[in-house]
Each structure stands twice: as C-alpha cells, then as structure tokens.
Amino acid sequence: MMTLDRMRADVARLIDLEPEEVADDANLADLGLDSMRLMQLAMGWEQAGLAVDFGVLAEYSTLGDWWREIVAPQVRA
Amino acid sequence: MGADAAVALRPLTEAQEGLWYFQALDPSNPILNTGQYLDLTGPVDLPALREALARTLAETEALRLRFAATAEGPRQWLSGELPPVAELDLRGHPQTEAEALRWMQADSAHPADLAAGPVAGFALILLPGGRVLVYERIHHLAIDGYGMVLLTDRIGAHYGHLTGQSAAPLPFPPLSRADEEDAAWRASPRRAEDGAWWKAELAGLPEVASPGTLAGERAISAAAFHRESLWLPEALAARLAAFSEAHGLAWPEVLTGLAGAWLARWSGGETVIGMPFMARMGRRIARLPCMAMNVLPLHLHPDEEAPLADWLRAAAAKMREARRHGLYRSEQLRRDLGLVGGTRRLYGPLVNVQPFDRPPVFPGLEVRLNILGAGAVDDLTFTFRGDPQAGLLFETDANPALYTAEDVAAHSARLVAFLDAALAAGRLAEVPTASPADLAAQAAQARATVHPLPETTLVEMIAGKLADHPDAPALTYGGTTLTRAEVDRRSAALAGALAARGAGPGRIVAVALERGLELPVALLAAMRVGAAYLPLDPDHPPERLARILAMAQPVVLLTSAELRGRFPADAPAFLPEDWPTAGEAPAGPAPDDMAYVIYTSGSTGEPKGVVIEQRAIVNRLWWMRDHYRIGPGDRILQKTPATFDVSVWEFFLPFLSGAELVMAPPGAHRDPAALAGLIRRHGITVLHFVPSMLSAFLAAPESKGLPIPHVFCSGEELTPDQRNRFHARLRGGLHNLYGPTEAAVDVSFWEAGPDDRSSPLPIGWPVWNTRLEVLDDRMRPVPPGLPGRLFLGGVQLARGYLGRDDLTAARFVADPSRPGERLYDTGDLARLRPDGAVVYLGRLDHQVKIRGLRIELGEIEAAIMATGLARECVVLAREDHAGEKRLVAYLVPAGDHVPGALAARLAKVLPAYMVPAAEVALPALPVTANGKLDRKALPAPEFRASGRPADGAGEKLLARLYAEVLHLDAPPPAEADFFGLGGDSLSAVRLGLRIAQETGQDPGLGAIFETPVLEHLAARLAAGAAPSNGAGPLLLLAEGDPDAPPLVLIHPAGGLAWGYRGLARALGGARRVWGLQHPGLAADAPMPASLEALAQDYAARVAGIAPERVHLAGWSVGGILAQAVAVQLAAAGRPPGMVALLDSYPAEAWRAEPEPDPVAALRALLAIAGHDPEAHRDLDTRAKVVAFLRAGDTAMGALPEALLDGVVRVVTDTNRLVRGHVHRRYPGPLTHVRAGLDHGGRPLSAAMWAPHAEKVEELSVPFLHPQMTSPAAVALIAPILAQRMG
C-alpha cells in the first residue's frame, strides 16, 4: 500500500535528502528533482502497482499535490 | 488576419519572444523549422496510421498557431485550420530513399509564413516493402524538442489504440495553460530572485571561445547547418553507465560535464556552455506540446587534476542549481549582462542530452527516429539522444559559417575519443584533446621528415666544393671577386694563424667586421680551425660588447683597426693587416663540435649565447641546398648582419653549393633603391628579407619587375598581403621560413607562391629530421585548430646557452613522448591546420620582434631598473598604428628621474633598436583585480597629452586637423604639441596645407614649427600674424629653460634646419634649441659673398638670441659653419660653450676635390631628402630631380615651389662657399662626432680639425653620414651633447 511517507522516502533518497527535509508543500524541482530522477520515480511506483504517468506527475510541483491529485484517489478506490 | 480576425490575440510567452526576434531579423531564414521523420517498418496499417496522425494533429492546438507583429508587440492566435498532411507514394520511384529525403529537406528549407500559416506540415511517404516515413515539420515558435517528443509519441499511442493494442491516450491539456504558466511566472517574485541569482552566478564570465570561434568570429546561425551523426559505441555507453552508477552520478550530467570539459580545452581551460532545459518540471505544461524550453548558461572550469568523479559531482551540483533557476530566460540574461551585439554572447556551444528522445512506440512496428533540424545552430551543438541502455545517438551540428563538414566530422570523432579516454583515465589531466587519429596523422608527418645524412661538418662539405673548379667566382664585394681557390687559400691561411693563437675545437673566435671581403673569410677560417665563431655587432654599445666578451671568453677577436677601439683594450684583437696570406688549415671540427655562438636578447637582462653544433647547421644548410636546388650559377646576396642567424646561410650556403657570395656594401640593406641596383647589377638569384623590409622594397619604384628566383622571408610574420604584392610586382619564388636561433636558423618552410591563397600564411612544414609539436600547457598534443605552445625537436636543436645550464634546462625540456630526446620550447603560440601545416599565432611571453630583431622586454626592463631612475617599470611593444610597432617604457619614477632622461642612459647599455621610443611616467602601474599588471590599462603614449579641451572655433578647427593629419582617435587637447603627438616635417607640411584649405589663410610652415602647441598656434592664427614659411633665418626647434644658454643648430648644405627636429626635441627642456637657416632660401635674397660673411651674419643673429653665451652644433656643412661662427663669437669676446661638429670636415678637405658640376650639386638634394643618389643616376637635370622629389612622399618633395627653389639655390651655392673658405683658428675646444660606418675610401678624420682649434675631442657613433640626424643616431648623440653642455 502506497503512503505519503513512502513516497516522501523515495523522493528523499533520490535527491540525497532526509525525508523530513521533503515537506508536503516544498517545490520538488527546487529540491533537485529533475526529469531524469522523476522518470526513475515514476517507473518504480508503476512497478509498485500505482497508475502514475510521468507526464502527469510532472504537472505538479509538490509531494502534497501528487498525493492529493494522483495517488490518494487511487489508494482510496 | 482575414477570417481569423475574430479570435483572441494573445501576447507571446517569454519563451517564445527570443525566437520571435531572431526570426523577425530574417523572415526568410528557415532554420527555425524543426523537423524529423519516423521510419516505420513492419506490417503498417496505413488507414490506422492516417487516422492516428489526424487525431494527433486535431488535438495539438499549437500546430494551428499564427503570429504577427502588432503595434503592441508580437501577438499570436489560433487559426481554425489544421496543418496540411501530404501523402507521397514513392514505391515506384527509382531512388526512393534519396527522393524522400530530398523532398523532406526541400520542405524544411522553405520558410514558414507565420501570419498566414501554416506553421507546421506533415507527410506520409510510402516506400517499397511496406515502409512508411512519417515526416513532421513544426516551427520552433510553436513547439520545442520535448513538445515534439510528446506529439510524436502521441501518434504512436493513437496508432496502438486504433489497432486495438493499447488504451486511448489521455488528451493533451489546452494550449491556454502555456499562457497561464507564463503569466504566473511573469508576475511571480521568483522571476526577480532568479534573475539576481544568475547575475551573481555569472559575474566575471570568461570570454567564450569554441573550436570555430578562436579568432573571435561572430556566432550567428546560418540558414542551414552541418550534421555529423553516429551511435556512441556500445562499450562507451556501457562505460558511461557503469561510471555514473559507481559514483552515484546521473549519466546525463556526466555526459554534459565531459563534453563541457572538452569544450573548455578550446576556450583557455574555462568555458560557458549552453545547456538546453525543458522547463516543464512541476509546471502545468508538463504534458503540453508548446514552446517552453530555455538554454541555461553553464560556467565550467574543470579541475584537471582532481579525480574525475569529484569534479563531475561539483559540475552536476552546478547543473542542478542552474535548473532550479532555470525559468529565467537566457535572452533576458543576455540583456541584463549587456551581452548583446557584436561577438558578445552568454554561452558558446550547446550540449544537449535528451534521454526522452527515443523512438516512439508503434505496437507491432519497428521504428527509427531521424532528426532533420532542431532550431538555430549558432556555433556547435552536441546532442545525445536516448540512453545508455537503448543506445545513444550522438549528433554534432555546426554552423557552416564557422566549420567545414570535415571539421564537424573530426570534432565529433575527437569528442567520442575524449569521452572514452576520460572515463577510462579517471582524471582529465591525462587525456589529450587530440584524438588517436590526430596523433597518428601527426606521427606520420614526423616520419616523413626523416632524412638520414652522413656524419659530416660544414668544413668538410665546403672544402670539397672549393677544390672543385678552383677558378670559379666564389666571393664578390664591390668591384673585387675572389675565386674559390683564393677563398680557400685565404681562409686556410687565417685558420692556421688562428690555431697558433689557441683557436680550435671547443674554442670561440669572436668576429667584429663590417661587410667586406674579410668578414666571410674570417667566419670560414674560424670554422676551419675547428672553433665556433661569435659574431659581434660593432654598432652595439661598448658596455654590451664587453659583457659578451667577458661571458664568451673568445681566444681571438677578429676586428678591424677602425673598430678596435670599441672593444676593451685587453681583447685579443687580430687585425686584417696582420693576417697571413699563406698557410695550412688545421684538421677542423667534428660533427658535434660548436659551429657558432650567437647572442640573443635575454629576459634576465643578460644576453644569452646560443651554441649551435656542426651537425645541426649541416642539416639546415644541406636541406636548403637540396630543397631549393641551389648550386653553381646562383648568386646569393649577403646583407644580414652577422649577429642575426639568417646570415649563417647567406655566408655558408654559397660555399657549400658552389654559388657565388655577393656582399652588399655597408648600409645598403636599409636602402631599397640601392638593393634593387645591387640585385640587377650582380644578377642576384637568392636573398633574404625580413618581411617589413620586403614591404619597403616592394614599395620602392626600383623593384618593379625584378626577376629574383628565390626570396626567403623570416624573422617576422609574412602576411598574405605581402605575398600578393610580391607576386604582383616581382618575378620569382617567395619562401616563408621560420625558426629560432636555438634551432639552427630555420625549422619550417612554406611556399608562398603566386597560387597560394592561405590566410594567415603558415610557417608550414618541418625541414629534414625536425619535429614541430604543438602542445598544450600540460605538454599534451593538441588537435588541428587548437592553439598551443610550439616545441621543436630533432637534429637542429642547439646544444644550449653558453655557460648558462640553468637557462638551457628551462628551455630545452625532456620530450614527454620520446625518452632521451629534447624539445626546445619556442615560447611561440601556434596551431596546426587540418593538413598539418603549422600556423604561427604570436608570442606567449614578453618577447617581441621589431624589424626582425628579437627583443626580450625583460632585458630592457632590467636595464631600466639598473639606472635607478624607476621604482617599477614595464616595457611594451605597442602597435597603435597598423604595421608600426614601437617600444614604450612605462615607469614609476625614482631617483633623479626627469622626463626624457631614460633613453640617453639606456643607449649606453642597449643596442639602439632596444631603446624605447617613448617613456611614460605613472604614479603606479595599473593592476587588475587579481593583482596582475593590467596591460590594457597602460595608455598609448601619443594620447597622453591631457588637459583643457580645445575651445573656440580656432582651437576646435586645429584640434580636428591635428587629429586628421596625425590619425588620432580623438581631437587632442589645447595643450597638445603637434610634434609630441607624433608629427614630423612631412605631416607639418600637410597640416599647413589643410589649414590653408580650411581658412583660406596660409599660416606658413614656420608657424607650425615655431608654435606647435595647439593653443599657441590658434592664438597666432587668430592674431593674424604674418605667415612664416619656416624658412626664416631663425627657427625655434624646441622650447626650454629661457635662462639657460640655448643651443643653436646650424643648417647643413640644403639651408634648412628642419632635419634637426629630433635632436632638438631630445635636447630641449633644459634649454631652448634654435635652428639657424640660410638667408638665401628667401626668393630674392642675395647669396653671401663668402662663408666668412655668412658666419658673420649668423654670429650677429646668435647674439640677438642670447647675448651672454650659446652652444653651437652643426652637421656636415653646418659643422664648418659652427666653427666659423665660434671664431666670430670668440673674437667678439663672447666665446661659445660647446662647439660640436657632427661628421664635418674642414674646408681644405674639399678644396682638393674636383669642383662638382651644378647637376651633381643638385643631386645632393636627393641625399638630403633621404634617397641614395647612386641609385638614381638617371636624374641628371634639375627638372628630373625636382619631379622625382615631388613624386615621393618626403618632406622635401612636399615643399612649396618657392622654397624648393631656394633649397636648390642654396645647395648649388654651398660648394662654392666651402671651397673658398679658409678656416681661422678657434681658441677653444671642438667636439667632433664621426659617422663611424662611413668614409671607407676617404681619409677624413677628426684630426683634420686640429690646426683650427685649441683641441679636438674625437668621438664616433656607428652610423653613416646621412644617418646622423636619424632617431637612432639622435639616441646616441643627444646624451653626448647634453653632457658637454652641462
């Protein structure tokens, strides 16, 4: 089951930060997340069973948005 | 806008604006048509493909964009019209693929009409075997690279859905999101913050160069580009992936960093690359086909020594930072930083890593993606598409204005080799910029110069030639020719005598002789005894000569009685009158014995003696003899001073090849007309020119049409212009040679033939057994095009510097690629052409060449410091006017420095050509931010005139005319002195003419000479003072202390004192300097009855200037007059201070000479004007002489008619006066300065004045009689006179 904190941990690992440094409303690009790393994330999450599209993820700039707009609706469903 | 007028006009996004302005500059440029095509193979479902394409086009709003300029700025709107789709069936075409490509390229080459549309076009091209090409062409204003990926992937997604193999894709968001994002960005505080970040980040940006813009070319995209495309080798891709993985780096950043490191090699180790950035992450346009991308400047300064991963990690951090601020437009940044226009730019080449740019998926089909164009290519663009697993397509696109197709292929290969080597080496320092292919080509060229020669010496080779045909002419000087047998006999005899004086192998024989028959015999004899000869220039200051003798310790000094006095009394002189005429030559040298030692300028303040061995010079001369097929029948002109190593081949090649050696008379090498005469008279077939002298020679009327089979140039850069003028004017071969004294004269050659179009003109190819290597600052080989330091290797290298192992070790270094061998570090900057020829680019250190003479500025600086007149100093060779290099000394004064004091002091220790032409005193030397001397901040000496700007109509007019006549950049200030700004007699004549033209009032030349300061001249003109033609009897030549006794300079034969301007300037300041001119210059003045009468007149005028006491001096006839005036003054009880005679001889010396006819007297005018009368024997009437002078560009030729008449009258009358004069005794001392290089055939000496004075001080300077008032002579004479005036 995907959780916000698991997503946070995945993001943090990829950009060499501690999970608590990745706030819900932090701009991920500012934290160093680039398109290549985002692609890696999307592929990992897809393998974990989430229906996430790289392009759609890229339309949002924060972890909070991802959770609210893309992931939570799926997890609740 | 027609039917679309109702739709909403929207402003462009920031991202679009930059492109809009680029396209608006040239609407016909199609480079912004981005294009690509998919190559589909397999069972293509054509109806599904058509539908997939149609659906994609329908949902991509950007394809319907239109653009136009409006009063409010550029606007865009959506048209209702879908882009066209063509369908081409080429299945029956004979050359389907080529035709398809041609069609697509033609379509892409068609500029889009942005207002009328469409901005995009598509095609399905049917090829045999079921293959289908899907062609897409979209203007960059509508889409960027990632947008193209989205669109192309979408065609595949629809195809998959239509063929029932995948789900329907999510629709694209509306294009209005691009406007919304843009509006949000423009309004966001982030924009200003990011802008500020960039401005801080890019402060102190280096000037960017790239392989195609090393010479500062402008990088502006053309309408097309070159493309070299290849797949990175799988092993390299795997190495890239493994390296990135191992070091926790992202491979795109590794690739970007390494490509940047390679580019930095072309930009002085530091560069700014452009990094395309998709600018979509975290934005609502992430899935929207539109134009959003930005190009981020990335400033890279690779640490070549650091472990590669460390440096790359730092570079990657920089890239991440840049992306974080990546929405700030680079076009805006260029404006912020003032990098717009000219060659200014923010970044150089682009490095574009596109991991997402992979072929789209069409289920069931094989798909290949081909990029046709991705927008403007200003310079060079490296693009990597795909990823290490799927494969990396590497495209090198280049601006055809800056790169040839061959360049592009070569750079592409070099970068691939560099990536591979860098990933393997783990440290950039170990990786050369040149590729293995470059190195192989260079090695092949080096092998081609190998030309084994027998172990021999010049002596052996020459002995063989002299014995052959002993009666053949070998050596000619003036009217005398020696046969080979005679040269053999004389040199053998002298060699025997030298042996008796201790000369032999390993010893040095110094030679200081003027050109004549003795000089070549002396050099040959020194070699025949096995010793090395050491040429000395008697023109050099005695202190310098003594220093060299002390360093070299020659066993013998071969010099003449006349020059003997210039050397220390204990020098072991051996004069020609004592040379034996018969005797046996000893055994001679071995191949590794010293052949000659030539001293060159040294940076430490001490000249250094280059030791060349026999083997080295044998190689050089043997090569020249064979390469140019020089032999009996050739006549080689010897005109280069023996201290300049070019003379080595002039002296020895004739003896070695059986050619005849023709010695030019002393001084002839500086007179183009005399040279042309010599060449004609002796049928010269081989001679040498320093290029600047070649220019003067080509400009002389006498050189026209001369046939000269071999003209060799070296010592300076030969320019394409000189080459072209040579072939337009002369018939013969022109050879450009290059080499330092440290490598046996020349090491490379280039045929500058009539068909050569090279620009710049290369120094060319190595001579036999010689290597020219261009290495970077880590001694790594560089590829063609990249400037590096030129090193020389091979048999011609010098043994080293005599007695200076430290200097030898510093310049002769171990060859990194050939253990045990040496390389000589030339200190020259050079590059290889793609064909391997070497191009000289300039000096790396502070050495300069002026008229072919090598000068270490450090030696001059050391000499300045040694005077104690400066606390700090720096010397530059400035070229403020094209083609005119001058030495300028900048100093912070110390001790008892007064302006102008330096030159006189330096002239005692440095050769004249090393004495700075100007000195500029500064309170401190300017330094840059990092504490280095800021050379650019040093003022040009001419423009130092500072002060009040010209004011009022009169001054402003003069300021404009001064600037015009003297080629000044800006009008000079009111205090400017015409002559201080570089004016001379000739430009004064021009200024006078211009003033007359502008004002209708002829100021007279004298006005300019007497009041050269702008404000004074203006005041004088305003006062309406009577015009002076500068020919009045008294002319103030230089202002000075009015209380000190003035110096009066008395005119030579021509009657004018203008020629003393230089001497007067050197001696002014401390006193006024007046010129006395012949009263007979005035049109209706009677001629004086006698010289005594003239002297009486002058004595009266002198008394009028300074009733108390004056100093007198005169050149030539002026000296005779000075003595006579001194007699008059002494008789009146007012004896003068100094009485100086510059190469003057008393009247009785001339009385015995036959009375010259009037024409001969006239011809003296030619000499006064600076021509060699002997070269113009055809000018035998007054009319011809005057016409010739008028055609030339000397001051004499520009004289007003009446004045020229006066000069002619005075010249003709002078002989009469001199011959009739009887000197009276002057009861005081005379100072006599002899022109030491002149009077070869005449018994003229200072002692002749002994009966006419209390005593005579005898001095000599190394010049010819006509040169005594030249700047070089003034540098020596002025201090002598200054000292005697106290």
Contacts of A39 in chain B (CB under 8 A): 355-356
Helices (H) and strands (E) in chain A, counts: 5, 0
> What does DSSP assign to residue A68?
I
Per-residue pLDDT reduced to its tens digit, A3-46: 999 999 999 998 889 999 999 999 998 888 888 889 889 989 98
- B411 counts as catalytic: no
**Other CB atoms closer than 10 Å to residue B187's CB: what's the count?**
9
Q: Which member of B286, B324, B355 has the closest CB to residue A59?
A: B286
Q: Which member of A29, A32, A37 has the closest CB to residue B282?
A: A29
Q: What are the backbone dihedrals phi and psi of residue B811, each rounded to the nearest 5 degrees, phi first?
A: -105, -25
Residue B944's pLDDT band (boundaries 50, 70, 90)? very low
Could you tell me the two tokens for B43? 């069972």
Residue B539's pLDDT band (boundaries 50, 70, 90)? confident
Q: Where are the domains of chain A?
A: 4-76
Per-residue pLDDT reduced to its tens digit, B24-52: 878 888 999 999 999 999 999 999 999 99
Contact B284 A59 (CB under 8 A): yes
Q: pLDDT above 70 covers what percent of chain B?
A: 93
B1181 membership: H or E segment, kind and range: none
- The upper half-sphere exposure of residue B998, i.e. CA atoms within 13 Å in the direction of its Cβ, equals 18
Which residues, including other chains, have CB under 8 Å from residue B912's CB and lie 6 or more apart? B539, B1272, B1275, B1276
Predicted complex: ipTM over 0.95:
no
Contact B282 A35 (CB under 8 A): no
Q: What are the backbone dihedrals phi and psi of residue B1152, each rounded to the nearest 5 degrees, phi first?
A: -70, -20
Q: What is the pLDDT of residue B1192?
A: 59
Closest CA to B491 of B529, B461, B465: B529
Contact B150 A55 (CB under 8 A): yes
Mean pLDDT (whole number) for B535-545? 90
Mean pLDDT (whole number) for B939-954? 69
CA distance to partner chain A, nearest, from residue B365 (Å): 23
CA distance to partner chain A, nearest, from residue B184 (Å): 14
Contacts of B280 in chain A (CB under 8 A): 35, 58
Contact B286 A36 (CB under 8 A): no
DSSP conformation letters of B775-828? E-TTS-B--TTS-EEEEEEETT---EETT-HHHHHHHEEE-TTSTT-EEEEEEE
Residue B5's pLDDT band (boundaries 50, 70, 90)? very low
User: How does the average pLDDT of chain B come out, rounded?
Assistant: 88
- The upper half-sphere exposure of residue A66, i.e. CA atoms within 13 Å in the direction of its Cβ, equals 32
Residue B21's pLDDT band (boundaries 50, 70, 90)? confident
Chain B residue with CA closest to A14: the answer is: B248
Contact A32 B281 (CB under 8 A): no
**Other CB atoms closer than 10 Å to residue B722's CB: what's the count?**
21
Residues in chain A whose Cβ is within 8 Å of chain B = 27-30, 32-39, 53, 55-62
Q: Which member of B278, B285, B287 has the closest CB to residue A56?
A: B287
C-alpha–C-alpha distance, residues B1100 and B1120, integer Å: 17
Could you tell me the two tokens for B749? 């050659």
Residue B3's pLDDT band (boundaries 50, 70, 90)? very low
Asked whether the predicted pLDDT for residue B1195 surpasses 60, the reply is no
What are the CA-CA distances from residue B619 to residues B614, B632, B1015 (Å)? 9, 20, 64
Asked whether the predicted pLDDT for residue B340 surpasses 80, the reply is no
The residues with which B366 forms a beta bridge, in sequence order, are: B41
Per-residue pLDDT reduced to its tens digit, B274-310: 999 999 999 999 999 999 999 999 999 999 999 999 9
C-alpha–C-alpha distance, residues B1100 and B493, integer Å: 62
Q: What is the pLDDT of residue A32?
A: 85
Q: What are the backbone dihedrals phi and psi of residue B119, each rounded to the nearest 5 degrees, phi first?
A: -95, 0
C-alpha–C-alpha distance, residues B149 and B136, integer Å: 11
Contacts of A57 in chain B (CB under 8 A): 286
Asked whether the predicted pLDDT for residue B67 surpasses 90, the reply is yes
Mutate to test the interface with B, among A13, A16, A39, A59 (most CBs of B within 10 A): A59
Asked whether the predicted pLDDT for residue B1 surpasses 60, the reply is no
Mutate to test the interface with A, among B151, B197, B281, B298 (most CBs of A within 10 A): B281
Q: What is the pLDDT of residue B943?
A: 41
What are the CA-CA distances from residue B485 to residues B142, B474, B482, B579, B658 (Å)? 89, 8, 8, 17, 12
pTM as predicted: 0.70
Q: Of residues B1189 and B138, which shows the higher confidence score?
A: B138
Closest CA to B348 of B401, B293, B275, B288: B275
Q: What is the pLDDT of residue B1173?
A: 67
The burial of B704, by beta-carbon neighbours within 10 Å (0-12 exposed, 13-18 middle, 19 or more buried), is given as exposed
C-alpha–C-alpha distance, residues B715 and B738, integer Å: 7
Q: Taking a C-beta distance cutoff of 8 angstroms, is the pair B399, B222 a contact? A: yes
Residue count (chain A): 77
Closest CA to B19 of B31, B35, B1: B31
The SS3 assignment for B1142 reads strand
DSSP conformation letters of B537-590? -TTS-HHHHHHHHHHH--SEEEE-TTTGGGS-TTS-EE-GGG--SS--------
Closest CA to B624 of B740, B528, B719, B748: B748
Per-residue pLDDT reduced to its tens digit, B1091-1137: 988 998 898 888 878 778 899 999 999 999 999 999 999 988 888 99
Mean pLDDT (whole number) for B433-440? 94
Do the bridges between strand B770-775 and strand B765-766 make them parallel or antiparallel, or are there none, so unpaired? unpaired
Mean pLDDT (whole number) for B955-960? 88
Sheet holding B686-689, edge to edge: B480-483, B473-477, B660-663, B635-638, B686-689, B707-713, B731-738, B748-751, B765-766
Q: Taking a C-beta distance cutoff of 8 angstroms, is the pair B135, B152 a contact? A: no
In this structure, of B192-196, B467-471, B939-943, B1107-1111, the range with the lowest mean pLDDT score is B939-943
Q: Of residues B490 and B1084, which shows the higher confidence score?
A: B490
Residue B1139's pLDDT band (boundaries 50, 70, 90)? very high
Per-residue pLDDT reduced to its tens digit, A54-68: 889 999 999 999 999
Residue B1027's pLDDT band (boundaries 50, 70, 90)? low
Q: What are the backbone dihedrals phi and psi of residue B217, each rounded to the nearest 5 degrees, phi first?
A: -65, 155
Class of domain A4-76: mainly alpha
Chain A residue with CA closest to B177: the answer is: A59
Chain A residue with CA closest to B178: the answer is: A59
Mean pLDDT (whole number) for B810-818? 93
Q: What is the pLDDT of residue B956?
A: 86
CA distance to partner chain B, nearest, from residue A1 (Å): 25
Q: pLDDT above 90 covers what percent of chain B?
A: 57
Amino acid present at B260: G
Q: Which member of B250, B281, B355 has the closest CB to residue A58?
A: B281
DSSP conformation letters of B334-346? HHHTT--STT--S
H helix runs in B111-175, sequence order: 145-162
The SS3 assignment for B491 reads helix
C-alpha–C-alpha distance, residues B213 and B207, integer Å: 11
Contacts of B173 in chain A (CB under 8 A): 59
Asked whether the predicted pLDDT for residue B946 surpasses 70, the reply is no
C-alpha–C-alpha distance, residues B524 and B530, integer Å: 10
Could you tell me the two tokens for B378? 């200003």
C-alpha–C-alpha distance, residues A64 and A30, integer Å: 15
Residue B1149's pLDDT band (boundaries 50, 70, 90)? confident
What are the CA-CA distances from residue B488 to residues B135, B474, B479, B655 (Å)? 85, 10, 20, 10
Q: Taking a C-beta distance cutoff of 8 angstroms, is the pair B1019, B1083 a contact? A: no
Q: Which member of B150, B170, B281 has the closest CB to residue A35?
A: B281
